[in-house]
Structure 1
Amino acid sequence: MNEPIEKPQAGKEEEDSNFAQIKSLAKEAYRFLDSRQWDKAESKLKELLAKEPSNTYGLVGMGDLHFKRKEFRQALDFYNRCIKEDSSNKFSLMGLMNCYREMNLLNRVIEVAEEYRHITITDASILSRVADAHRKLKNFKESEVYYMQALQINPKDQYVIVGLGHLFFACQRYKDAISWWEKLLVIQPDNIKILTEIGNSYRKIKDFDEAIRYYRRAADLDQRNFFALYGLAESYRGKKDFRKANEFWERILEFDPDNKLIINRYADSLRGMGEFDKALECFNRILSEGEDYFALLGKASSLKMKGARDKAEEIYVDLHKKFPMDPRPVVELSELYSDLGKRDEALKLLNDFHKKQPLNEEVKQKLDSFSE
């Protein structure tokens, strides 16, 4: 009996079939990843890698799966396996850098970029990740270089534009930060985060009216946005318009009634309005749940302004003992001593602190005011 003759196309058909199956599995896996169905995605990816252990789509997919689950060590393993198969795979490189960034190993982000410079030099998204790492490490010059390189590759890269805004904000170059964030607002006029960042920058340079304008735009888009309402309250506080500031502290307290920071700010505004009893109620409410530095300072100041100077002095003295390197209790206690006619005690308090911290401007200015 003659042996059957093998069709020459049989091997190719099998190869094409296998390729089609792998392609289908990859497509399904990534669809499950996008819809956050982790278990189904993992099942498809494992099936894919069982058929072809070196498949880069499968390796990157498994890396992405573990990254989304915050299993960074496992993610790193798959991204590294992918790079061994394809040293120019930018998705695995991006995955490595994202993992190290989330693990706060920022120097490792930079090292990886240098190690795979043949990829990083031409990819704006990767260059911007390196710039981010340098920015967070306060290597501001290096950060700016990488952001600018990324911008040369893609002048409209929104991630880079946002990063430059954050960079110049961190450098206290607030007008430059505003300039970059304004470029993004041209594209995304309703970007609440950028509106509040611009508001923050104007508030830093004490241009409270401009800050208010941007915070209002953000608050109009989201009436319960904490950062927009906080910025509005702080801007009015900066303008000494405490009544207006309290309108916005109250709006925050409507949906976050136990926020100690906001209760403290609200009480400070009440104190600024001369409503000392109401302010003390707020400070005592916070202190009923445990010791709080800012509430104690606020309470002491309210008591002092109300005329209960002995009680205020007790709090200031106690705070100074607990926080001997903090200038605020020293300055406020010296003012209290001065009001009580205890000039020598005020000077001794300030001079003792000045010897320990000669560079503290607040205490130095207070000393200078005594000698005028």
Structure 2
Amino acid sequence: MNKKSEAIELSKEGRKLMRERRYGEAEKKYHAALRIEPRDVYSLVGLGDVSLKTRRFGEALSYYERAIQFDRKNKFALVGAGDACRGLKNIEKALDLWRRYLSFYPDDYQVMTRVADGLRRTKDFEGARRYYRMALVENPRDQYALMGLGEVSEALEDYDEALAYYERAIAGAVEPSRALSSAATVLRRKKEYRTALEYYDKILQRRPEDPFAWHGRADCLRGLGEQREALQAWEKAFLHGMEPRIALTRMGDVCLSLGDVAAAERHYRQAMKLGFDRYACIGIARVLAGRNEIEEAIEVLTMAARKEPGEPRLAAELKRIRELAQKTREERGPLT
């Protein structure tokens, strides 16, 4: 076997190991191939792929760029280099590489969606919309393009259009949970809680331990005034992995609405032990104020306002409780 053939065989072995996710072994094969044939583009791309899979984005970019030096139109190197730049959070360079790819291969809808995603991240929503629509011309059922268009519409607060794209994504998806969740979120924004509940229930039929779906369901139930059912749903969300501080605060809010002040206080204090939460601070301040512990309530909110200067909800609650304190003092009258 001549050297070139040996390098090709090593590269093929590397690719097989890559498919088996044996990245360390694959890397060794590619390096062995490059020692024989330093300009072997196949091995350079392979090393880029290994580095990308193991999140070594700088190394990946270096390998892809070397491959591009030897083959400027190499599909895998151009896309991979763009993906590596995305990993390095250099979106502008990623966009440049993906657009260069499209100049050679203009019908690739998967790369069109990469460009669109990058433009959406930079808040160029019109540019993103244009590339997502180009992708849909090539593949009208492309989930990434449909979801991307929904997210662009949502960012522009065109909720009806966003919902229409998410519905199309749901209709064409093998696994529709992400699209169902996005559609349900839009419906919550529109305060169409009953319909949103149907979507969350569809997710939970597929993934009964999904904490985000339980949280969404709870929020809908609260919006419908079904507080006890909302509490049960947030308890489920908490058990299945919802961020504990947020879940405990939501449970505290519901308990307060139900008049169970002791349970509300317990939940808020548990949440505050886990870290700062403005809503837990507001909740505990309301509990304290309800017990006529006005100064303690003001102290909690003042501490919270120092952590988040200018936060409007904290400022409004602090103003309300200070006014309550002033009113209480006036009602008591001067000390004699």
TM-score between both structures, scaled by the size of structure 2: 0.88
- Distance in 2 (CA, whole Å) between partners of 1:247 and 1:86 is 59
Alpha-carbon contact 1:120-1:126 (below 8 Å) kept: no
Q: What residue is the counterpart of 2:50 in the other structure?
A: 65
Deviations 1:94-141 (A, max 9, x none): 101111111111111222234455225332222211111110111101
> 1:214 offset after TM fit, Å?
0.6
Q: Among residues 31, 47, 50, which one is paired with 2:16 in the alignment? A: 31
Higher relative contact order (CA 8 A, sep 6+): 2
> 1:36 offset after TM fit, Å?
1.5
- Distance in 2 (CA, whole Å) between partners of 1:121 and 1:109 is 17
Between stretches 82-91 and 256-265, larger displacement belongs to 256-265
> 1:317 offset after TM fit, Å?
4.3
Q: What residue is the counterpart of 1:110 in the other structure?
A: 95
Alpha-carbon contact 1:276-1:306 (below 8 Å) kept: no
Alpha-carbon contact 1:286-1:295 (below 8 Å) kept: yes
Q: Among residues 194, 203, 210, which one is paired with 1:225 in the alignment? A: 210
Q: How does 1:47-196 map to 2 (within 5 A)?
A: 47-119=32-104, 121-188=106-173, 190-196=175-181
Alpha-carbon contact 1:190-1:218 (below 8 Å) kept: no
Change (3 A) 1:52 1:148: same
1:275 to 2:280 alignment: no
Letter in 1 for 2:96: E
Change (3 A) 1:314 1:132: same
- Distance in 1 (CA, whole Å) between partners of 2:153 and 2:232 is 32
Between stretches 289-298 and 332-341, larger displacement belongs to 332-341
> 1:309 offset after TM fit, Å?
3.7
> 1:191 offset after TM fit, Å?
2.2
Q: Equivalent pairs: percent with the same residue?
A: 28
Q: What residue is the counterpart of 2:223 in the other structure?
A: 238
Q: What residue is the counterpart of 2:301 in the other structure?
A: 316
Between stretches 127-136 and 186-195, larger displacement belongs to 186-195
Alpha-carbon contact 2:58-2:88 (below 8 Å) kept: no
Q: Which runs of 5+ in 2 are unaligned?
A: 331-336
TM-score between both structures, scaled by the size of structure 1: 0.80
Change (3 A) 1:39 1:340: closer
The alignment partner of 1:70 has SS state of: coil
Deviations 1:256-278 (A, max 9, x none): 48711111111111111111111
Alpha-carbon contact 1:120-1:127 (below 8 Å) kept: no
> 1:199 offset after TM fit, Å?
1.0
> 1:207 offset after TM fit, Å?
1.1
- Distance in 1 (CA, whole Å) between partners of 2:242 and 2:31 is 48
1:332 to 2:310 alignment: no
Q: Among residues 248, 251, 255, which one is paired with 1:263 in the alignment? A: 248
Letter in 2 for 1:156: R
Deviations 1:335-355 (A, max 9, x none): 335556739x9xxxxxxxxxx
Change (3 A) 1:319 1:210: same
Between stretches 145-154 and 266-275, larger displacement belongs to 145-154
The alignment partner of 2:39 has SS state of: coil
> 1:211 offset after TM fit, Å?
1.1
1:42 to 2:27 alignment: yes
> 1:44 offset after TM fit, Å?
1.7
> 1:238 offset after TM fit, Å?
2.2
- Distance in 1 (CA, whole Å) between partners of 2:317 and 2:119 is 40
Change (3 A) 1:72 1:104: same
Alpha-carbon contact 1:270-1:279 (below 8 Å) kept: yes
Between stretches 216-225 and 42-51, larger displacement belongs to 42-51
Between stretches 29-38 and 287-296, larger displacement belongs to 287-296
Q: Which runs of 5+ in 1 are unaligned?
A: 1-13, 346-372
Between stretches 171-180 and 300-309, larger displacement belongs to 300-309
> 1:41 offset after TM fit, Å?
0.5
Deviations 1:275-307 (A, max 9, x none): 111110111223345554332211012223455
Letter in 2 for 1:243: R
